[in-house]
Amino acid sequence: MKETVKNIPTVRLASGEEIPAIGLGTFGSDKYTAEQVGDAVYGAVCCGYRMLDCASVYQNEDRIGNVLERLFQDGVAAREDLFITGKVWNDMHGEGQVIASCRKSLEDLRISSFDLYLVHWPFPNYHAPGCSGDSRNPDSRPFRTEEFMQVWRQCEQLVEMGLTRYIGMSNMTIPKLEAVLPLCNVKPAALELECHPGFQQPELFDYALAHHIQPIGYCPLGSPSRPERDRTAEDVADTAMPEIVRIAKRHNVHPALICLKWAVQRGVIPIPFSVKEPQYISNLKAVTEDPLTDEEMECIRLADKNCRLVKGQVFLWEGANGWEDLWDTDGRIAGS
Ligand SMILES: NC(=O)c1ccc[n+]([C@@H]2O[C@H](COP(=O)([O-])OP(=O)(O)OC[C@H]3O[C@@H](n4cnc5c(N)ncnc54)[C@H](OP(=O)(O)O)[C@@H]3O)[C@@H](O)[C@H]2O)c1
Protein backbone atom coordinates (compact mmCIF):
# COMPACT_ATOMS: atom_id res chain seq x y z
CA MET A 1 0.00 0.00 0.00
CA LYS A 2 1.47 3.34 -1.11
CA GLU A 3 1.83 6.17 1.36
CA THR A 4 -0.87 8.83 0.83
CA VAL A 5 0.09 12.37 1.72
CA LYS A 6 -2.74 14.38 3.30
CA ASN A 7 -3.39 18.06 4.03
CA ILE A 8 -1.77 19.40 0.89
CA PRO A 9 -1.85 23.21 1.08
CA THR A 10 -3.88 25.19 -1.46
CA VAL A 11 -3.74 28.63 -3.04
CA ARG A 12 -6.69 30.77 -4.05
CA LEU A 13 -6.98 31.98 -7.64
CA ALA A 14 -8.48 35.39 -8.44
CA SER A 15 -11.74 33.53 -9.24
CA GLY A 16 -11.91 32.40 -5.60
CA GLU A 17 -11.24 28.75 -6.44
CA GLU A 18 -8.70 26.90 -4.31
CA ILE A 19 -6.17 24.78 -6.17
CA PRO A 20 -3.22 22.66 -4.94
CA ALA A 21 -0.16 24.66 -3.87
CA ILE A 22 2.18 22.08 -5.50
CA GLY A 23 2.02 20.03 -8.71
CA LEU A 24 4.01 17.40 -10.59
CA GLY A 25 6.12 18.41 -13.62
CA THR A 26 6.04 16.03 -16.59
CA PHE A 27 8.96 17.15 -18.78
CA GLY A 28 11.37 14.21 -19.07
CA SER A 29 14.26 16.59 -20.00
CA ASP A 30 15.18 14.35 -23.00
CA LYS A 31 16.40 11.91 -20.30
CA TYR A 32 13.32 10.05 -19.09
CA THR A 33 10.94 8.20 -21.43
CA ALA A 34 7.21 8.77 -21.79
CA GLU A 35 6.67 5.41 -20.07
CA GLN A 36 8.75 6.46 -17.07
CA VAL A 37 6.91 9.78 -16.81
CA GLY A 38 3.54 8.01 -17.18
CA ASP A 39 4.42 5.58 -14.38
CA ALA A 40 5.44 8.52 -12.20
CA VAL A 41 2.09 10.23 -12.85
CA TYR A 42 0.27 7.07 -11.74
CA GLY A 43 2.36 6.76 -8.58
CA ALA A 44 2.20 10.47 -7.82
CA VAL A 45 -1.60 10.65 -8.04
CA CYS A 46 -1.79 7.52 -5.85
CA CYS A 47 0.29 9.25 -3.20
CA GLY A 48 -1.76 12.46 -3.28
CA TYR A 49 -0.64 14.82 -6.08
CA ARG A 50 -3.68 16.53 -7.58
CA MET A 51 -2.04 18.95 -10.02
CA LEU A 52 -0.21 17.94 -13.21
CA ASP A 53 1.82 20.21 -15.48
CA CYS A 54 1.60 18.85 -19.04
CA ALA A 55 2.59 20.16 -22.48
CA SER A 56 2.32 18.85 -26.02
CA VAL A 57 6.06 19.41 -26.60
CA TYR A 58 6.92 16.96 -23.80
CA GLN A 59 5.76 14.22 -26.21
CA ASN A 60 4.19 12.10 -23.51
CA GLU A 61 0.57 13.25 -23.35
CA ASP A 62 -0.67 10.08 -25.02
CA ARG A 63 1.09 7.98 -22.40
CA ILE A 64 -0.17 10.20 -19.57
CA GLY A 65 -3.68 9.88 -21.04
CA ASN A 66 -3.40 6.13 -20.78
CA VAL A 67 -2.42 6.50 -17.14
CA LEU A 68 -5.23 8.96 -16.38
CA GLU A 69 -7.73 6.50 -17.81
CA ARG A 70 -6.36 3.81 -15.47
CA LEU A 71 -6.39 6.15 -12.47
CA PHE A 72 -10.05 6.97 -13.10
CA GLN A 73 -10.99 3.31 -13.73
CA ASP A 74 -9.12 2.15 -10.63
CA GLY A 75 -10.96 4.76 -8.57
CA VAL A 76 -7.71 6.41 -7.40
CA ALA A 77 -9.03 9.85 -8.32
CA ALA A 78 -11.88 11.32 -10.35
CA ARG A 79 -11.29 13.81 -13.15
CA GLU A 80 -12.73 16.64 -11.05
CA ASP A 81 -10.21 15.92 -8.28
CA LEU A 82 -7.32 16.83 -10.60
CA PHE A 83 -6.08 20.21 -11.83
CA ILE A 84 -4.52 19.58 -15.24
CA THR A 85 -2.47 22.17 -17.11
CA GLY A 86 -1.69 21.99 -20.84
CA LYS A 87 0.36 24.24 -23.14
CA VAL A 88 0.36 25.18 -26.79
CA TRP A 89 3.79 24.83 -28.40
CA ASN A 90 5.42 27.56 -30.49
CA ASP A 91 4.74 25.90 -33.85
CA MET A 92 0.96 26.01 -33.32
CA HIS A 93 0.36 29.75 -32.94
CA GLY A 94 -1.32 30.33 -36.32
CA GLU A 95 -5.02 31.00 -36.92
CA GLY A 96 -7.02 27.96 -35.78
CA GLN A 97 -3.92 26.08 -34.69
CA VAL A 98 -4.19 26.82 -30.96
CA ILE A 99 -7.64 25.27 -30.87
CA ALA A 100 -6.48 22.30 -32.96
CA SER A 101 -3.48 21.77 -30.67
CA CYS A 102 -5.63 21.97 -27.53
CA ARG A 103 -8.08 19.43 -28.98
CA LYS A 104 -5.23 17.07 -29.87
CA SER A 105 -3.77 17.30 -26.36
CA LEU A 106 -7.20 16.64 -24.82
CA GLU A 107 -7.65 13.65 -27.08
CA ASP A 108 -4.19 12.31 -26.13
CA LEU A 109 -4.84 12.88 -22.43
CA ARG A 110 -8.35 11.30 -22.72
CA ILE A 111 -9.98 14.24 -20.95
CA SER A 112 -12.68 16.61 -22.19
CA SER A 113 -11.21 19.86 -20.88
CA PHE A 114 -8.14 21.38 -19.25
CA ASP A 115 -8.23 23.26 -15.98
CA LEU A 116 -5.54 25.63 -17.24
CA TYR A 117 -4.16 26.10 -20.75
CA LEU A 118 -0.98 28.16 -21.23
CA VAL A 119 0.79 29.84 -24.11
CA HIS A 120 4.11 28.03 -23.58
CA TRP A 121 6.32 30.78 -25.10
CA PRO A 122 5.18 34.24 -26.24
CA PHE A 123 6.48 33.94 -29.83
CA PRO A 124 6.14 31.39 -32.64
CA ASN A 125 9.85 30.53 -32.68
CA TYR A 126 10.17 26.81 -33.09
CA HIS A 127 12.95 24.41 -32.29
CA ALA A 128 12.77 20.67 -32.69
CA PRO A 129 12.57 18.67 -29.45
CA GLY A 130 16.04 17.49 -28.40
CA CYS A 131 17.92 20.04 -30.58
CA SER A 132 21.37 21.34 -29.59
CA GLY A 133 21.92 24.70 -27.87
CA ASP A 134 23.42 26.42 -30.92
CA SER A 135 20.64 25.44 -33.37
CA ARG A 136 18.66 28.40 -34.76
CA ASN A 137 15.51 28.58 -36.85
CA PRO A 138 15.77 31.20 -39.64
CA ASP A 139 12.02 31.94 -39.25
CA SER A 140 12.46 33.05 -35.63
CA ARG A 141 11.46 36.63 -34.89
CA PRO A 142 11.04 38.93 -31.89
CA PHE A 143 7.83 39.15 -29.87
CA ARG A 144 5.05 41.15 -31.50
CA THR A 145 2.00 42.20 -29.51
CA GLU A 146 -0.43 41.64 -32.44
CA GLU A 147 0.94 38.18 -33.06
CA PHE A 148 0.64 37.25 -29.39
CA MET A 149 -2.91 38.60 -29.22
CA GLN A 150 -3.89 36.38 -32.15
CA VAL A 151 -2.84 33.44 -29.99
CA TRP A 152 -4.53 34.84 -26.89
CA ARG A 153 -7.85 35.40 -28.71
CA GLN A 154 -7.83 31.70 -29.57
CA CYS A 155 -7.17 30.89 -25.91
CA GLU A 156 -10.15 33.05 -24.99
CA GLN A 157 -12.22 31.01 -27.45
CA LEU A 158 -11.07 27.83 -25.72
CA VAL A 159 -12.67 29.10 -22.51
CA GLU A 160 -15.90 29.95 -24.37
CA MET A 161 -15.90 26.50 -25.98
CA GLY A 162 -15.48 24.80 -22.58
CA LEU A 163 -12.13 23.27 -23.59
CA THR A 164 -10.35 24.87 -20.62
CA ARG A 165 -11.54 26.54 -17.42
CA TYR A 166 -8.64 29.02 -17.15
CA ILE A 167 -5.98 30.32 -19.49
CA GLY A 168 -2.53 31.62 -18.69
CA MET A 169 0.89 32.59 -19.98
CA SER A 170 4.43 31.31 -19.56
CA ASN A 171 7.93 32.74 -20.08
CA MET A 172 6.64 36.32 -20.08
CA THR A 173 8.38 39.51 -18.95
CA ILE A 174 6.97 42.65 -17.36
CA PRO A 175 7.27 44.71 -20.60
CA LYS A 176 5.38 42.02 -22.54
CA LEU A 177 2.70 41.74 -19.84
CA GLU A 178 2.34 45.53 -19.83
CA ALA A 179 1.72 45.37 -23.59
CA VAL A 180 -0.84 42.56 -23.61
CA LEU A 181 -2.75 42.66 -20.30
CA PRO A 182 -4.84 45.75 -21.20
CA LEU A 183 -5.92 43.94 -24.41
CA CYS A 184 -7.04 40.68 -22.75
CA ASN A 185 -10.79 40.04 -22.55
CA VAL A 186 -10.10 37.00 -20.39
CA LYS A 187 -7.28 37.75 -17.94
CA PRO A 188 -4.57 35.15 -17.36
CA ALA A 189 -5.28 33.16 -14.19
CA ALA A 190 -1.66 32.02 -13.87
CA LEU A 191 1.84 32.77 -15.08
CA GLU A 192 4.42 30.01 -15.34
CA LEU A 193 7.94 31.30 -14.77
CA GLU A 194 11.33 29.87 -13.91
CA CYS A 195 11.64 30.16 -10.15
CA HIS A 196 14.04 28.67 -7.59
CA PRO A 197 16.24 30.07 -4.80
CA GLY A 198 19.04 30.95 -7.24
CA PHE A 199 16.60 32.69 -9.60
CA GLN A 200 13.71 34.25 -7.72
CA GLN A 201 12.46 36.86 -10.22
CA PRO A 202 11.15 39.14 -7.43
CA GLU A 203 9.90 41.91 -9.76
CA LEU A 204 7.96 39.55 -12.04
CA PHE A 205 6.61 37.67 -9.01
CA ASP A 206 5.38 40.91 -7.38
CA TYR A 207 3.95 42.10 -10.71
CA ALA A 208 1.95 38.87 -11.11
CA LEU A 209 0.54 39.07 -7.58
CA ALA A 210 -0.35 42.75 -8.03
CA HIS A 211 -2.33 41.75 -11.15
CA HIS A 212 -4.05 38.80 -9.39
CA ILE A 213 -2.16 36.29 -11.50
CA GLN A 214 -1.00 33.12 -9.70
CA PRO A 215 2.72 32.38 -10.20
CA ILE A 216 3.61 28.75 -11.01
CA GLY A 217 7.33 28.05 -10.60
CA TYR A 218 9.14 25.78 -13.04
CA CYS A 219 12.55 24.21 -12.38
CA PRO A 220 11.80 24.65 -8.64
CA LEU A 221 14.83 22.51 -7.70
CA GLY A 222 17.12 24.16 -10.24
CA SER A 223 16.44 21.38 -12.76
CA PRO A 224 19.52 19.22 -12.06
CA SER A 225 18.58 16.89 -14.96
CA ARG A 226 17.94 19.61 -17.55
CA PRO A 227 19.04 19.06 -21.16
CA GLU A 228 22.59 19.95 -22.20
CA ARG A 229 21.33 22.91 -24.28
CA ASP A 230 20.21 24.58 -21.03
CA ARG A 231 23.56 24.28 -19.23
CA THR A 232 26.40 26.80 -18.95
CA ALA A 233 29.54 26.86 -16.80
CA GLU A 234 28.24 29.81 -14.72
CA ASP A 235 25.02 28.07 -13.62
CA VAL A 236 24.42 27.88 -9.87
CA ALA A 237 23.16 24.55 -8.43
CA ASP A 238 20.39 25.45 -6.01
CA THR A 239 20.76 22.32 -3.90
CA ALA A 240 24.44 23.19 -3.35
CA MET A 241 23.86 26.84 -2.33
CA PRO A 242 25.40 27.16 1.19
CA GLU A 243 22.25 28.82 2.61
CA ILE A 244 20.04 25.99 1.31
CA VAL A 245 22.44 23.29 2.52
CA ARG A 246 22.66 24.89 5.99
CA ILE A 247 18.87 25.13 6.35
CA ALA A 248 18.46 21.58 5.03
CA LYS A 249 20.84 20.30 7.72
CA ARG A 250 18.83 22.12 10.37
CA HIS A 251 15.59 20.48 9.14
CA ASN A 252 17.36 17.17 8.50
CA VAL A 253 16.08 16.89 4.91
CA HIS A 254 17.52 16.94 1.37
CA PRO A 255 18.19 20.53 0.11
CA ALA A 256 15.61 19.96 -2.66
CA LEU A 257 12.87 19.92 -0.04
CA ILE A 258 13.96 23.31 1.30
CA CYS A 259 13.50 24.76 -2.21
CA LEU A 260 9.92 23.46 -2.23
CA LYS A 261 9.00 24.63 1.27
CA TRP A 262 10.37 28.07 0.35
CA ALA A 263 8.32 28.21 -2.89
CA VAL A 264 5.03 27.25 -1.26
CA GLN A 265 5.53 29.58 1.70
CA ARG A 266 6.39 32.41 -0.70
CA GLY A 267 3.19 31.84 -2.69
CA VAL A 268 4.57 30.23 -5.85
CA ILE A 269 3.15 26.85 -6.94
CA PRO A 270 6.23 24.65 -7.52
CA ILE A 271 5.91 21.84 -10.08
CA PRO A 272 8.88 19.58 -9.27
CA PHE A 273 9.58 16.70 -11.64
CA SER A 274 10.72 13.25 -10.62
CA VAL A 275 10.16 9.71 -11.84
CA LYS A 276 11.61 8.35 -8.58
CA GLU A 277 8.97 7.40 -6.04
CA PRO A 278 10.93 8.30 -2.87
CA GLN A 279 11.68 11.73 -4.41
CA TYR A 280 8.17 12.62 -5.54
CA ILE A 281 6.64 11.43 -2.27
CA SER A 282 9.12 13.40 -0.16
CA ASN A 283 8.59 16.47 -2.38
CA LEU A 284 4.86 16.41 -1.67
CA LYS A 285 5.25 15.63 2.01
CA ALA A 286 7.77 18.44 2.51
CA VAL A 287 5.19 21.15 1.89
CA THR A 288 2.78 19.69 4.45
CA GLU A 289 5.11 19.72 7.49
CA ASP A 290 7.94 21.48 9.32
CA PRO A 291 7.74 24.93 7.66
CA LEU A 292 10.68 27.31 7.32
CA THR A 293 10.95 30.11 9.87
CA ASP A 294 10.62 33.77 8.86
CA GLU A 295 14.36 34.10 9.38
CA GLU A 296 15.05 31.14 7.04
CA MET A 297 12.69 32.59 4.42
CA GLU A 298 14.57 35.90 4.63
CA CYS A 299 17.95 34.16 4.43
CA ILE A 300 16.87 32.43 1.17
CA ARG A 301 15.44 35.69 -0.22
CA LEU A 302 18.81 37.35 0.28
CA ALA A 303 20.62 34.41 -1.37
CA ASP A 304 19.10 35.08 -4.85
CA LYS A 305 21.79 34.76 -7.53
CA ASN A 306 19.69 36.03 -10.47
CA CYS A 307 20.89 32.92 -12.30
CA ARG A 308 18.48 31.99 -15.10
CA LEU A 309 18.92 28.38 -16.20
CA VAL A 310 16.45 28.11 -19.12
CA LYS A 311 17.92 30.91 -21.20
CA GLY A 312 15.97 29.97 -24.33
CA GLN A 313 18.82 30.76 -26.77
CA VAL A 314 17.42 28.27 -29.32
CA PHE A 315 14.53 30.73 -29.85
CA LEU A 316 16.75 33.66 -30.84
CA TRP A 317 16.16 35.47 -34.10
CA GLU A 318 18.67 36.78 -36.59
CA GLY A 319 20.18 40.04 -35.34
CA ALA A 320 19.47 39.36 -31.66
CA ASN A 321 22.28 40.32 -29.29
CA GLY A 322 22.05 37.28 -27.05
CA TRP A 323 19.67 35.29 -24.88
CA GLU A 324 19.07 38.33 -22.65
CA ASP A 325 16.99 39.74 -25.53
CA LEU A 326 14.38 37.03 -24.93
CA TRP A 327 13.87 38.38 -21.42
CA ASP A 328 13.77 42.15 -22.11
CA THR A 329 16.48 42.72 -19.49
CA ASP A 330 16.81 46.43 -20.33
CA GLY A 331 13.11 47.00 -19.56
CA ARG A 332 11.88 47.22 -23.17
CA ILE A 333 10.54 44.54 -25.51
CA ALA A 334 13.70 43.59 -27.39
CA GLY A 335 13.71 43.68 -31.18
CA SER A 336 10.28 45.20 -31.73
N1 LIG B 1 6.82 26.60 -18.90
C2 LIG B 1 8.02 26.22 -19.27
O3 LIG B 1 8.61 26.77 -20.22
C4 LIG B 1 8.73 25.14 -18.51
C5 LIG B 1 10.12 25.01 -18.64
C6 LIG B 1 10.77 24.00 -17.91
C7 LIG B 1 10.04 23.16 -17.09
N8 LIG B 1 8.67 23.29 -17.00
C9 LIG B 1 7.87 22.39 -16.11
O10 LIG B 1 8.45 22.40 -14.82
C11 LIG B 1 8.70 21.07 -14.37
C12 LIG B 1 9.85 21.03 -13.40
O13 LIG B 1 11.05 21.51 -13.98
P14 LIG B 1 12.28 20.56 -14.26
O15 LIG B 1 11.79 19.18 -14.45
O16 LIG B 1 13.09 21.16 -15.34
O17 LIG B 1 13.20 20.71 -12.96
P18 LIG B 1 13.09 20.43 -11.39
O19 LIG B 1 11.74 19.98 -11.00
O20 LIG B 1 13.67 21.62 -10.74
O21 LIG B 1 14.16 19.24 -11.23
C22 LIG B 1 13.80 17.90 -11.49
C23 LIG B 1 14.96 16.98 -11.10
O24 LIG B 1 15.31 17.21 -9.73
C25 LIG B 1 15.71 16.00 -9.12
N26 LIG B 1 14.85 15.78 -7.93
C27 LIG B 1 13.50 15.78 -7.85
N28 LIG B 1 13.09 15.56 -6.59
C29 LIG B 1 14.22 15.43 -5.84
C30 LIG B 1 14.45 15.18 -4.47
N31 LIG B 1 13.45 15.06 -3.59
N32 LIG B 1 15.75 15.06 -4.06
C33 LIG B 1 16.77 15.20 -4.93
N34 LIG B 1 16.60 15.45 -6.24
C35 LIG B 1 15.34 15.56 -6.69
C36 LIG B 1 15.53 14.89 -10.13
O37 LIG B 1 16.82 14.66 -10.68
P38 LIG B 1 17.26 13.19 -11.13
O39 LIG B 1 16.49 12.97 -12.39
O40 LIG B 1 18.73 13.32 -11.35
O41 LIG B 1 16.86 12.27 -10.02
C42 LIG B 1 14.60 15.50 -11.17
O43 LIG B 1 14.80 15.00 -12.45
C44 LIG B 1 8.92 20.31 -15.70
O45 LIG B 1 8.83 18.91 -15.54
C46 LIG B 1 7.84 20.92 -16.56
O47 LIG B 1 6.58 20.34 -16.27
C48 LIG B 1 8.02 24.28 -17.69
Distance CA 172, CA 25 (A): 19
Cα-to-centroid distance, 223 and ligand 1 (Å) = 5
Distance CA 284, CA 289 (A): 10
Would you say the CB of residue 221 lies under 6 angstroms from ligand 1? yes
Q: Is the dihedral of CA 65, 193, 265, 209 positive or negative?
A: negative
Please calculate the CA angle 132-133-139 and round it to the nearest 5 degrees.
90
Q: Coil, helix or strand for 85?
A: strand
Would you say the CB of residue 26 lies under 6 angstroms from ligand 1? yes
pLDDT, tens digit, for every residue of 277-321?
999 999 999 999 999 999 999 999 999 999 999 999 989 998 899
Of 46-50, 219-223, 316-320, where does mean pLDDT reach its minimum?
316-320
Q: What is the mean pLDDT of residues 9-31?
A: 96
Active-site residues, by number, are: 58
Ligand 1 atom closest to the CA of 286, numbered from 1: 31
Would you say the CB of residue 230 lies under 6 angstroms from ligand 1? no
Length of the chain measured in residues: 336
Q: How confident is the model at residue 133 (pLDDT cuts 50, 70, 90)?
A: confident
Give percent helix, percent strand, percent coil of the chain, each to the nearest 5: 40, 15, 45
Distance CA 104, CA 335 (A): 33
Phi, psi of 116 (to 5 degrees): -145, 135
- pLDDT at site 290: 98
Q: What is the mean pLDDT of residues 134-162?
A: 94
- pLDDT at site 221: 98
- pLDDT at site 253: 98
Ligand 1 atom closest to the CA of 54, numbered from 1: 47
Question: Can you give the pTM of this predicted structure?
Answer: 0.98
Tell me what the pLDDT averaged over the chain comes to: 96
Asked whether 7 and 18 are in contact (CB, 8 A), the reply is no
CA 70 vs CA 39, 45, 47, 109: distances in Å: 11, 11, 15, 12
Helix (H) or strand (E) run with residue 169 in it: strand 164-170
Q: What is the mean pLDDT of residues 142-146?
A: 97
Distance CA 208, CA 1 (A): 40
Distance CA 19, CA 320 (A): 39
- pLDDT at site 1: 56
pLDDT, tens digit, for every residue of 82-112?
999 999 999 999 999 999 999 999 999 999 9
Cα-to-centroid distance, 119 and ligand 1 (Å) = 20
